[in-house]
Amino acid sequence: MKSHLPRIVTICAVIALFAVGNAYALQTPSARDFDAEIRAAVQSAKTAAGVEFLGTLTRLCLLPQSSAEDTTDNVPEFVRNPSGAPARETWYAEPARVFDNLYFVGGKVHSAWALTTSDGIILIDTIFPYNSEELIVGGMRKLGLDPKNIKYVLISHAHADHIGGAEMLQTRYGARVVMGAADWDAVAKYPNRYKTMAPKRDIVATDGMKLTLGETSVTIWATPGHTPGTLSYTFTVFDRGRPVNVAYSGGTAFNFPNRTPNPGIRNFQTYIDSQKHMAAQAAATGATVILSNHSEFDDAYNKNRMIAGRGNGPHPYELGTESVQRYFQVMENCARAAQIGLERDLTKAAQ
């Protein structure tokens, strides 16, 4: 028996070496095929996009991203020189009653929504300073709503295309303004950037906060990523008396700092986690409608015109729970594809 020992030792050594070699191969970063992983993530996003979410897919997975941290504090050109603001025909859209208690008062590209309750109006997002007067105040009047009844203004995030009318609505109508803490901080930090758009610090939203007005509640979800304070919402609207659940996605594009692995990988993870969080809330509430604050994402501008021809057919905004889930999968997978690209950069830098 003794004579067999050296051979057994040799076999064991070979097996051990093989195992170590394999483990080494698995741990070697170059073993990852980053391009294949990116292609797979983009393909998952394309599959999830279906025919409904091509705008979101294009913006997040296909178009180049703006990605630098903006630390400048300049007065925007459209505030400094209002006559130089984009021409009306580029943004004007007719207001529309979309559900029994939800009205569109936005423009061609950016949306604002008035949710009516038994005790006043909750306004969601406020577009730009140069068009909030005509689209929101004028649009509400056109639809028979009195802007004086706006009790709450929810700002999904503090970018000029959504916070533009918040200061005016707070000052003129005494509306309470709700925003995420980090975005309130940004408004305070950059007085020039937010000139004419800076409501006085008011209600700081927290994850799961319920805002109730009359018989209507909006649940607020913290979905950091697009900005650190981005908020999303779930609420119920009515379609010819039938309750319909809505998921409102508050921030979409990847214009947070993401050019370099640090902090880009972490920032994409924050964004991805938020999409998972919001998808779970949409699932829990049975959301069949996805709304956004850009019409390229929820197709609001086109759908508002389709409502007129609906007859007794389904509501054009109501896509079903499965489609709403796919919306968040588009966001998540496009973010993952971009994150993998940064993981590749990190690996290359380490080699």
Least spacing, CB of residue 253 vs Zn ion, in Å: 6
Q: Which is nearer to Zn ion, 44 or 227 (CB)?
A: 227
Residue 219 CB neighbours (<10 A): 18
Least spacing, CB of residue 118 vs Zn ion, in Å: 32
| 327 residue type, one letter | Y
Position closest to Zn ion via CB:
159
Total number of residues that touch Zn ion (CB under 5 A): 1
Asked whether position 315 contacts Zn ion by CB under 5 A, the answer is no
Least spacing, CB of residue 236 vs Zn ion, in Å: 26
Residues 6+ apart with CB under 8 A from 101: 115, 116, 117, 216, 237, 238
Least spacing, CB of residue 226 vs Zn ion, in Å: 6
Q: Which is nearer to Zn ion, 59 or 159 (CB)?
A: 159
Least spacing, CB of residue 157 vs Zn ion, in Å: 5
Asked whether position 159 contacts Zn ion by CB under 5 A, the answer is yes
Phi, psi of 272 (to 5 degrees): -60, -45
Q: Which is nearer to Zn ion, 159 or 193 (CB)?
A: 159
Q: Any idea which residue has 């025919």 for tokens?
A: 51
Least spacing, CB of residue 325 vs Zn ion, in Å: 23
Least spacing, CB of residue 251 vs Zn ion, in Å: 6
Asked whether position 294 contacts Zn ion by CB under 5 A, the answer is no
Residue 202 CB neighbours (<10 A): 15
Q: Any idea which residue has 């925003």 for tokens?
A: 179
Stretch that binds Zn ion, among 49-57, 82-90, 152-160, 234-242 (CB under 5 A): 152-160
Stretch that binds Zn ion, among 85-93, 153-161, 203-211, 292-300 (CB under 5 A): 153-161
Q: Which is nearer to Zn ion, 110 or 151 (CB)?
A: 110
Q: How far apart are CA 285 and CA 273, in angstroms?
A: 19
Q: Which is nearer to Zn ion, 110 or 344 (CB)?
A: 110
Q: Which is nearer to Zn ion, 159 or 326 (CB)?
A: 159
Contact between residue 326 and residue 50 where contact means Cβ atoms under 8 Å apart? yes
The span from the first CA to the last CA of the chain, in angstroms, equals 49
**Contacts by 97-101, CB closer than 8 A, 24 or more apart:** 97/143, 98/237, 98/303, 98/304, 98/307, 98/317, 99/237, 99/238, 99/239, 99/244, 99/315, 99/317, 100/237, 100/238, 100/239, 100/240, 100/241, 101/216, 101/237, 101/238
Contact between residue 85 and residue 93 where contact means Cβ atoms under 8 Å apart? no
Q: Which is nearer to Zn ion, 101 or 156 (CB)?
A: 156
Binding region for Zn ion (CB under 5 A): 159
